[in-house]
A and B are shown apart, each in its own frame.
Chain A
Amino acid sequence: MANVGIVIVSHSPKVAEGAAEMVRQMVGDEVPLAWTGGNSGGGLGTSFDAITEAIDRAWSDAGVAILVDLGGAETNSEMAIESLPAARRRRVVVCNAPIVEGAVIAATEASGGSDLETVRRVAEELSP
């Protein structure tokens, strides 16, 4: 069975790419991984379309866990999830966890074959 995919959504493309690099160092190619950062104007921010595409790139039948940094990243990610086809919508979650640590620990959990709920729970244990 495929491993849960990880999507990293930061306001900054550099933060998103850097976090993805740290995930790759930990799990190699064992989990589908995509990152996105920046708004449609090229500035700091997040983009609904870019998040939708990132979910698609990291798609796994086991589901996708999204790690976000600040408010707009979360709101845009939730909007993107709700706009997915119904069959996919239920298999994507936003983790309430710090973006870098959350992405690394979620990916590590996913690489062991854990299901989406477990991946999310392990990442969220990082939050107080």
Chain B
Amino acid sequence: MSSARTVDSRLEDKAIALDETRRRRLVSAIACSVIERADELTALDAAIGDGDHGANMKRGFEAVLQDLDALAAMSLPDLLKGVGMKLVTKVGGASGPLYGTLFLALGKELSDAPSRATAASGFGGAIAAVKARGKSDVGQKTMLDVLQPAFEAFAAGGDAARVREATLLAADGTIPMRATRGRASFLGERSVGHMDPGARSASLIICAVCDEFGGG
């Protein structure tokens, strides 16, 4: 999927500064955002799935928080891989390997000080890895229906507020969709009218990142 990496050529080449304090804040913000919304994720999953998404994601990100000091001390690639392996081993369910793959792939794609352009390209590459892991693509009512529009907004040069807006809009956009992948696909037409829980958790993670960078 070559288009997954298409990045606006005007994106800055300047490295994004991420010192240890910033890395720590970023990981903490992502983890807390998911943990605080665990009940909401579970309620969404109970409607069209097996109702364990909130508890699973909470368990995974609590394990991340337990290692926050060690993770923040790592280079950005190692930090991302560390978060990925925590999610793989702790979350369980399909979301463990899927979110695990997202972070592991980001860790492989990004350098320690990515520019906006390389960050966008790396994000695109990581989304391609998630698609391969889940044998899925956009339009199936999954986390990809948030990740891809968020990537597109970011790669087109959108600022944090613009990416955030696109992300929330995309999560809402899964409500009228009919699931064709994942447990919700068993419900067929009955999956219509509910936000996809994976789309919601993806939006929480991306919004947490946007808030961190939007705040300067």
B59 x A48 contact (CB < 8 A): no
A71 x B182 contact (CB < 8 A): yes
Interface residues on A, range: 10 to 19
Q: How far is the CA of A125 from the CA of B143 in the complex (A)?
A: 32
Residue-wise interface mask of B (16-60) relative to A, using a CB-CB cutoff of 8 A (1 in contact, 0 not): 000000000000000000000000000000000010100110010
* Of A70, A76, A78, the contact of B92 (CB 8 Å cutoff): A76
A44 x B50 contact (CB < 8 A): yes
With both chains docked as a complex, state the minimum distance between the C-beta of B194 and any C-beta of chain A, in angstroms: 18
A71 x B94 contact (CB < 8 A): yes
With both chains docked as a complex, state the minimum distance between the C-beta of B73 and any C-beta of chain A, in angstroms: 24
List A contacts of B55 (CB < 8 A): 41, 43
B183 x A75 contact (CB < 8 A): no
A79 x B101 contact (CB < 8 A): yes
In this complex, the member of B59, B92, B182, B183 whose beta carbon has the largest number of chain A beta carbons within 10 angstroms is B92
With both chains docked as a complex, state the minimum distance between the C-beta of B189 and any C-beta of chain A, in angstroms: 20
B100 x A79 contact (CB < 8 A): yes
With both chains docked as a complex, state the minimum distance between the C-beta of A65 and any C-beta of chain B, in angstroms: 19
Which residues of chain B from 74 to 108 have a CB within 8 Å of any chain A CB? 88-90, 92-98, 100-101
Which residues of chain A from 41 to 59 have a CB within 8 Å of any chain B CB? 41, 43-49
Residue-wise interface mask of A (32-48) relative to B, using a CB-CB cutoff of 8 A (1 in contact, 0 not): 00000001110111111
A→B interface (CB under 8 Å): 39-41, 43-49, 70-72, 75-76, 78-79
